[in-house]
């Protein structure tokens, strides 16, 4: 592989944005890619994938490069890049920035650091401790390794507009080969990454990009046409749209969130998907809906969480998350569970879901809730922990509760 200066410069600029300016990796890469319209899809792929790979292994690469984890100058960026290239067996060009790169030392340090999990898998000490305590060594190591892989691209067929067979055939015509996923009839996984958003199938609303684990949440709620459903952490609506399709657009879904901006995105997606049974409303909390107490047949709580199950998509979570934020999230999840569960009708069903793998955000929250005054009216029907190491998809937790 020959390295092109403008692409390497772009990666270094991306690392500066992410590591020193605290820009989210996806935003930094989006900004970079917009800055040069002449880059083709291969160039764009190189920039995005290299930045993500370096973010994933930031602790390992910065340690080998002998630079601080907060990059302080452009030369640090080139040093980190050089480590990435040497470890991949890519020859470094004869540029001043790479002069004196200690290739043998880099390989030696890499081998030595493989013995230490916090470097091998690149994870902060405090987070490693939490994972170890929550999952035990064998599972935690397997998860860390699985979460450092590149995530497959999975789409969900929008059954309001098409069916999986027709979508698969149309995408093939549009240049995208896909495979079905066993046990998940609406899901298709892409054989090779590419820009799906440019396809006619996408602009016509035939599919949404949604990981296979995430696609398991809405079906668990067991919705039916004509029901009244509350999706109280709806965000940009990935699961709301799935619920609307399962309800065949019949009934009513109230999609709420505390951030109106996310709901605006939901409205756009709902229009494209032809999902008309959704009302999106920004609320401050469950008290804004107190007049609808006991009126919902189904409630989905897709709770805000640490996102540790989706590190493959957002590897910078490892570096942005702080210990006190996990404590705050646990508190918020409890408030959401206690507050919104009161709005469910007797005999109704509630799903609590997170894209975390930590017990304190998952089963321990359900157990806590069942012990509270609000939770005494509920029983746990079933729950499931989905691990990336076992499923090949995102880490998730799902619990189905029923109001007695
Ligand atoms: C996991 S995300 C939701 C993802 C979304 N359901 C989807 O499928 O695309 C959690 C959401 O909870 C929202 N949130 C955060 N704090 C909240 C709170 N106190 N009450 C309700 N929603 C909250 C966030 O804005 C975020 O959109």
Residue for token digits 């160039």? 43
Q: Residue 253: what are its φ and ψ, rounded to 5°?
A: -115, 120
Residue with CA closest to ligand 1 atom 13:
233
Asked whether the domain spanning 216-403 has the same topology as the one spanning 154-209, the reply is no
Going by pLDDT thresholds of 50, 70 and 90, the confidence category of residue 368 is very high
Q: Mind listing the pLDDT tens digit for each residue in 311-347?
A: 999 999 999 999 999 999 999 999 999 999 999 999 9
Q: What is the pLDDT of residue 388?
A: 98
CATH 1.25.10.10 fits 154-209, yes or no: no
pLDDT surpassing 90 at residue 69: no
Pocket of ligand 1 (CB under 6 A): 232-239, 257-259, 262, 302, 304, 332, 336
Q: Ligand 1 pocket: which of 231, 258, 331, 339 to mutate (most atoms <8 Å of CB)? A: 258
Q: Is the backbone of residue 347 left (phi > 0), alpha (psi -120 to 50) or beta?
A: left
Q: What is the pLDDT of residue 71?
A: 80
Other residues' Cβ atoms within 10 Å of the Cβ of residue 146: 19
Give the whole-angstrom CA distance, residue 360 versus residue 366. 9
Decide: pTM greater than 0.90. yes
CATH architecture observed for domain 5-122: Orthogonal Bundle (1.10)
The third-level CATH classification (topology) of the domain covering 216-403 is Rossmann fold (3.40.50)
3-class state of residue 400 by DSSP: strand
Q: What is the pLDDT of residue 307?
A: 98
| 3-state percent helix, strand, coil for the chain, nearest multiple of 5 | 50, 15, 35
> What are the residue boundaries of the structural domains of the chain, listed by start?
5-122, 154-209, 216-403
Give the percent of the chain with pLDDT over 90: 95
- Does the annotation list 125 as a binding residue? no
Going by pLDDT thresholds of 50, 70 and 90, the confidence category of residue 382 is very high
Which residues are CB-neighbours of 242 under 8 A, at least 6 positions away? 156, 208, 210, 215, 217, 218, 219
Q: Which of 24-38, 168-182, 223-237 has the lowest mean pLDDT?
A: 24-38
Q: Mind listing the pLDDT tens digit for each residue in 250-275?
A: 999 999 999 999 999 999 999 999 99
Q: What is the pLDDT of residue 177?
A: 98
pLDDT surpassing 90 at residue 360: yes
What is the average pLDDT across 59-82?
A: 92
- Does the annotation list 179 as a binding residue? no
């Amino acid at each position: 592989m020959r390295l092109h200066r403008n692409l390497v410069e772009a990666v270094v600029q991306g690392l500066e944005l992410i590591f020193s300016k605290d820009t989210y990796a996806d935003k930094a890469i989006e900004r970079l890619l917009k800055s040069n319209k002449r880059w083709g899809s291969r160039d764009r792929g190189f920039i995005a994938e290299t930045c993500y790979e370096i973010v994933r292994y930031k602790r390992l690469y910065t340690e080998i490069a002998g630079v601080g984890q907060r990059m302080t100058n452009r030369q640090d960026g080139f040093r980190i890049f050089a480590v990435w290239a040497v470890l991949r067996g890519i020859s470094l060009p004869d540029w001043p920035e790479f002069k004196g790169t200690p290739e043998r030392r880099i390989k030696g340090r890499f081998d030595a650091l493989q013995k230490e999990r916090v470097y091998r898998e690149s994870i902060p000490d405090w987070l490693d401790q939490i994972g170890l305590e929550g999952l035990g060594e064998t599972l935690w190591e397997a998860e860390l390794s699985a979460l450092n892989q590149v995530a497959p691209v999975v789409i969900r067929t929008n059954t309001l507009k098409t069916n999986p067979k027709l979508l698969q055939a149309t995408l093939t015509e549009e240049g995208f080969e896909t495979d079905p996923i066993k046990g998940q009839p609406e899901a298709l996984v892409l054989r090779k990454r590419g820009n799906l958003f440019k396809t006619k199938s996408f602009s016509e609303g035939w599919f949404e990009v949604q990981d296979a684990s995430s696609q398991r949440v809405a079906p668990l709620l067991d919705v039916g046409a004509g029901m009244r459903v509350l999706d109280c952490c709806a965000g940009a609506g990935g699961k709301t749209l799935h619920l609307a399709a399962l309800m065949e657009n019949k009934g009513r879904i109230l999609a709420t969130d505390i951030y109106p901006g996310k709901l605006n995105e939901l409205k756009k997606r709902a229009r494209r998907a032809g999902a008309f049974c959704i009302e999106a409303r920004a609320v401050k909390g469950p008290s804004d809906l107190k007049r609808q107490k006991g009126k919902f047949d189904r409630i989905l709580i897709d709770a805000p969480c640490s996102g540790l199950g989706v590190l493959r998509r957002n590897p910078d979570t490892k570096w942005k998350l702080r210990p006190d934020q996990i404590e705050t999230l646990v508190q918020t999840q409890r408030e959401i569970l206690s507050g919104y569960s009161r709005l469910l009708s007797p005999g109704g069903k509630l799903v609590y879901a997170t894209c975390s793998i930590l017990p304190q955000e998952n089963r321990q929250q359900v157990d806590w809730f069942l012990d509270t005054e609000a939770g005494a009216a509920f029983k746990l029907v079933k729950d499931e922990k989905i691990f990336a190491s076992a499923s090949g998809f995102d880490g998730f937790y799902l619990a189905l509760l029923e109001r007695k």
